[in-house]
Chain A
Amino acid sequence: MESLRSILKNFKWLFGRNSEFWPTNMKTGMWAWVGHRLTGLALVVYVFMHLSFITTASMAADGADFDVLMEMTSQPLFVAMDFILVVVVIYHAMNGFRVVLFDLGLGIKRQKLVFWITMAIAAVLTAGGLWAIWHLLFRGGA
């Protein structure tokens, strides 16, 4: 019990009430930053999953494995995960765009407004992504 407490003490900076990551201590810019890191880490994991899938798909010389994999990944479960991927990529790209603007010295003093403008654009792009996925999913009766 004592050792558990000493382990937890090491994570006070992350989970403590006085931590800058405690939800009520976080402001807009901090949420944006945390979101950027979490989506970034998720996308790194995704890239390795993507390469693993293509590895499986490239095994048969005649490409049969690839076509079987495409059949599998067009199932609703995978398409739903694709939509999550679209949301994650669009958030990371739009918040990244905001970071680049700041690097160019633009909009720093209005960073909250810039955040909500980029998120509005992200929402529109996400709606477009949802429409495209819907369209692809039901094209040809798949």
Chain B
Amino acid sequence: MAEQRIATTKVAGTWPWFFQRLSAVLLIVFLAIHIYVSHFADVGSETGEEPLITFNEVSVRLDALIYIVVDYGMLTCVLFHGLNGFRTVLFDFDWFANRKKLIDVALWVVGAVTLVWGIIILLPFINGA
């Protein structure tokens, strides 16, 4: 396994390594905003007492373009970071490392489909209220 890991670090590539770090730093920022707005800032803004976030509160927040950018930016980063991390794990196994092209295509497809999925499910919140 130790020898395999060293060998497959080369398989994974330099750009994926770089973007893994970049997305990690961005995710820290996005996550901080995400947790703050969904559990602290918006919560109870309608009644002042209601302890749960509501559809309307999310919808009002998403009237601001910056929050649409934040939400979709976070979605993009989390999908890249998660799937690229999974790719690194897979490439520690010879069976997957020997099928690099197939794995790469499969993960890009999963990532693209999930990105579209994520974009679609936020639209009712953006369009609503």
Contacts and interface: CB of A to CB of B under 8 A. Distances in A.
Interface residues of chain B: helix, strand, loop or mixed (majority): helix
Contacts of A139: 44, 51
Nearest to B21: A100
Contacts of A51: 114, 117-118, 121
Interface residues of B, number: 37
Interface of B: 1-2, 21, 24-25, 28, 31, 39, 43-44, 49-56, 58-59, 78-79, 82-83, 85-86, 89, 114, 117-118, 121-125, 128-129
Interface in A62-78: 62-64, 66-67, 70-71, 74
Contacts of B86: 40-41, 44
A142 B52 contact: yes
A114 interface: no
A74 B89 CA distance: 34
A134 to B, nearest CB: 12
**Size range of the interface on A?**
35 or more
